[in-house]
């Protein structure tokens, strides 16, 4: 158990945006909302998963929608309470704690703001260890845990509660509601017991985000190696490419951002070209036409100077980026995980090969 | 108070399909579902609105979606109970009776099936006195009554409950859910008190449907006039056109059927052409390019031989039809009514002029 205050929020936002693998929402918006909540209501207690009783009711909190929309259409501040009230009424039980569903600039932050505003603790755990575009794409789905009852609330005051027969139906109906409400809504879903959270969750993800964020902040202060070496070492990242963004194709469709970013090599990558396909999150990275990394491993674009993560909705012509691959949470690599979030689900026509195997022999 | 059994159902279905003004779903499907429910569970008690206590909880029941979809994707039979359970839990009160929201082949019938299966009475009242394509288009919206809490259930077992800030938001979010669920869902909405029902409802609509259905069935037995004269007399209808369908344009979009039916004149209309535009229901009728009737007055197509109503999803090339206009419920003619369901709402560029004025001077 420890406290999350303003200093911690800064680092968590930066680190979680890296783990967002391009998605998970804008870290700037996430930080603004959370800093406001902590300033007003005080710091938040972060619980270690093992501190949560087995029978406690955990209600995760997130926003659903296209990141580009989330950046312009934020919360009213009334959503938390509306959602948690209907959820606790539904179970006839007080909510013990909240938690994030995914790592990402926005969706790592909002549960902190929720916890602050409602006076709840937050658990150091999520259901992805990264961000994914669809809500059934969590380790809890592999564990057979239902995404519903799920609550959705928009900033105007519309509230929806649903119970579905599968988690894919939750996604499909939830996505339709999100679009009807203007492209983004606040949600609480996957209500679960402490026991389920401990069995299937990605534990320690908030702390990991914070450490990554802290390391990125200090990357230039490392004395015995270059910032890039330091960054790759503490992230345990695989350097996939380095270059200048020369094209961004983007389309908001079905409350998702679909697109592709093309990068012209610079430095040791000069003469080569890479591109990354995304659906909110980065899905696959190609260098000179060859796949070098795919989902569920993390494909992250970072600024070549600051090493700050660059989410898909902040991609801009001319920006210099390094493309880095990170190993995903091990549960994603079992057959049920690959079925849920592997390359073929997203229409990338290749088997999943772990990034450490694809990158064996070093960068070409 | 009286009983609705198998004989009554037959006539109600036929008469309500006429009042459906082209929409309200397929009377054949509606009848099948209802006959099944009555055979299994016995007849249904129809309450006169004045028999309902002021504080009773009334929960209307309907299906939402494009009629062409409703005809192929019916109910599982579990929806009634799921919806009424969440509605009565929501109010902490037993539902006193159900009622239809609109007249129409399907949506007049389903509340009878619901009442039979749940052992509830049904009230002789609805919220339109005809059918309209969107759910906020009921007299209760004029009365300031909220469409929510509203429950939606599909035949697969997905259940959604919502509370919205306006009835238009209920429509928009409900329509999105309907589309996500495959184009049709069962709904309960506009939960209201007996007092509200009596103040704003279209009273006696089930009985009116039944009488119309009975009259259509007997139209050839009237001795002192032609069947057409008899039909126009008992419906108090305005004959707008008579001809052969020569073109049907139809598009299912946004869980609505949009389209236009073109009719070549026969008999006294020979040499003229008419067309009717629809969005589930018929919206406007043009003869030789001139508007002769618009929503909210009813524009109904009937078979020239049997005088059975022809819903928009049963329009077929070559069919001979008479186009008839009927006066709408008076509340639709006040400014709030015209705003909600007048021609301009549907993009028909004309002021509303009551059908009896448009047809003054007889048919040209």
Mean pLDDT score across all residues of chain B: 93
What pLDDT sits at residue A364?
47
Q: Summarize the confidence of residues B290-309 as an average pLDDT.
A: 96
- Three-state DSSP class for B29? helix
Quick one: pLDDT at residue A361? 67
Q: Are B289 and B193 members of one domain? A: no
- Helix, strand, coil percent values for chain B (each to nearest 5): 35, 25, 35
Q: Is B224 a domain residue?
A: no
DSSP notation for A318-359: T-EEEEEEEPPPGGGGSHHHHHHHSGGGGT--S----HHHHT
CB contact under 8 A, B180 and A181: no
Residue B287 scores a pLDDT above 90: yes
Distance from CA of B161 to the nearest CA of A (A): 5
Q: Is the Cβ pair B173, A181 closer than 8 Å?
A: yes
Kindly state whether residue A286 falls inside one of the protein's structural domains: yes
**A176 plus A291 within the same structural domain:** no
Residue B21 sits in a domain whose CATH number is: 3.40.1610.10
The domain total for chain B is 2
Q: Any idea what the CATH number is for the domain that residue A352 is in? A: 2.40.390.10
- In whole angstroms, what separates CA A331 from the centre of its chain? 16
Does B156 sit within 8 Å of A160, measured CB to CB?
no
Q: Which residues of chain A have pLDDT under 50?
A: 364
In a domain? residue B229: no
Nearest-5° Cα angle at B12, B8 to B14 = 125
Q: Hey, are the CB atoms on B158 and A169 less than 8 Å from each other?
A: yes
Nearest chain A residue to B154 by CA distance is A164
In this predicted structure, the answer to whether residue B363 has a pLDDT above a threshold of 60 is no
Q: Which of A206, A236, A267 is the last residue of a domain?
A: A206
Whether B96 maps to a domain, the answer reads yes
Query: In angstroms, rounded to a whole number, what is the distance separating the alpha carbons of residues B209 and B108?
Result: 9
Same domain? B202 vs B239: no
Euclidean distance between CA atoms B65 and B186, whole angstroms: 9
CB B190 within 8 A of CB B138: yes
pLDDT of residue B364: 47
Is the confidence at residue B129, as pLDDT, over 90?
A: yes
- pLDDT above 70 as % of chain B: 96
Same-domain status, B57 and B193: yes
Residue B354, domain member (yes or no) = yes
For residue B253, is pLDDT > 90? Answer: no
pLDDT higher at A33 or B338: B338
Predicted local distance difference test score (pLDDT) of residue B87: 93
Answer yes or no: is B220 within a domain.
Answer: no
Q: What is the pLDDT of residues B72-109, one digit of tens each?
A: 766 777 888 999 999 999 999 999 999 999 998 789 99
Residue A260 and residue A112 in one domain: no
| B193 plus B129 within the same structural domain | yes
- For chains A and B, count residue pairs whose Cβ atoms are closer than 8 Å: 58
Query: How is residue A271 annotated by DSSP?
Result: T
Q: Note down the domain range covering B282.
A: 235-358
Task: Examine the fold and report which residue of A206, A238, A257 is the final residue of a domain before the chain moves on.
Answer: A206
Q: Quote the pLDDT of residue B67.
A: 66
Instruction: Determine the 3-state secondary structure of A173 from DSSP.
Output: helix
Residues B135, B137, B140, B146: what is their CA dihedral angle, to the nearest 10 degrees? 50
B192: confidence class by pLDDT, cuts 50, 70, 90: very high
Q: Which residues of A touch B177 (CB under 8 A)?
A: 173, 176-177, 180
Does B189 contact chain A (CB < 8 Å)?
A: no
Query: Is residue B163 within 8 angstroms of chain A, CB to CB?
Result: yes
* A127 vs A117: CA distance, rounded Å: 22
Does A230 lie in the same domain as A199? no
Q: Which of A180, A206, A232 is the last residue of a domain?
A: A206
> B215 in a domain, yes or no?
no
Q: Token pair of B236, please?
A: 């108090």
Tell me, yes or no, if B168 comes closer than 8 A to chain A by beta carbon: no
* Per-residue model confidence (pLDDT) at position B68: 67
Are residues B64 and B141 both part of a single domain?
Answer: yes
B194 and B268 in a single domain? The answer is no
pLDDT of residue A142: 96
Binary contact (A156, B176; C-beta < 8 A): no
pLDDT (0 to 100) of residue B96: 97
pLDDT level of residue B175 (50, 70, 90 thresholds)? very high
* B-chain residues near A181 (CB < 8 A): 173
- Residue A198 sits in the same domain as residue A252: no
**Residues A248, A310: Cα–Cα separation, whole Å:** 13
Chain B positions in Cβ-Cβ contact with residue A169 (cut-off 8 Å): 156, 158
Quick one: B141 and B20 in the same domain?
Answer: yes
Whether residues B247 and B194 share a domain: the answer is no
Cα(A296)–Cα(A283) distance, integer angstroms? 8
Residue A217 lies in a domain: no
DSSP H or E run through A290: strand A290-294
């Amino acid at each position: 158990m420890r406290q999350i205050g303003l200093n911690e929020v800064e680092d968590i936002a930066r680190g979680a945006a890296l783990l967002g693998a391009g998605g998970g929402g804008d870290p700037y918006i996430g930080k603004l909302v959370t800093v406001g909540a902590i300033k007003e209501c005080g710091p938040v207690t972060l619980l270690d998963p093992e501190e949560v009783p087995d029978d406690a009711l955990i209600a995760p909190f997130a926003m659903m929608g296209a990141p580009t929309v989330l950046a312009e259409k934020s919360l009213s501040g009334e959503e938390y309470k509306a959602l948690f009230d209907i959820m606790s009424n539904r179970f006839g039980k007080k909510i013990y704690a909240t938690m994030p569903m995914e790592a990402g600039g926005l969706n790592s932050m909002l549960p902190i703001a929720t916890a602050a505003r409602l006076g709840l603790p937050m658990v150091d755990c999520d259901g992805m260890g990264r961000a994914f575009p669809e809500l059934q794409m969590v380790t809890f789905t592999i564990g057979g845990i239902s995404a519903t009852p799920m609550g959705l609330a928009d900033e105007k005051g519309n509230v929806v509660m649903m119970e579905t027969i599968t988690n894919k139906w939750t996604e499909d109906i939830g996505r339709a509601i999100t679009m009807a409400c203007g492209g983004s809504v606040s949600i609480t879903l996957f209500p679960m017991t402490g026991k389920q959270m401990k069995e299937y969750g990605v534990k320690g993800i908030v702390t990991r985000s914070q450490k990554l964020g802290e390391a990125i902040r200090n990357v230039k202060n490392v004395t015995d190696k270059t910032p890039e070496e330091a960054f790759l070492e503490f992230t345990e990242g695989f350097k996939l490419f380095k270059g200048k963004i020369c094209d961004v194709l983007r389309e908001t469709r079905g409350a998702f951002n679909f697109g592709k970013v093309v990068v012209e090599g610079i430095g040791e990558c000069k003469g080569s070209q890479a591109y990354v396909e995304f659906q909110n999150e980065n899905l696959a990275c190609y260098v000179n036409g060859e796949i070098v990394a795919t989902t569920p491993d993390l494909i992250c674009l970072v600024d070549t100077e600051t090493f700050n993560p660059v989410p898909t909705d902040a991609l801009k012509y001319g920006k210099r980026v390094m493309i880095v691959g990170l190993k995903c949470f091990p549960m994603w690599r079992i057959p049920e995980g690959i079925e849920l979030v592997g390359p073929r689900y997203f229409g990338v026509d290749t088997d999943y090969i772990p990034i450490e195997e694809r990158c064996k022999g070093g960068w070409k």
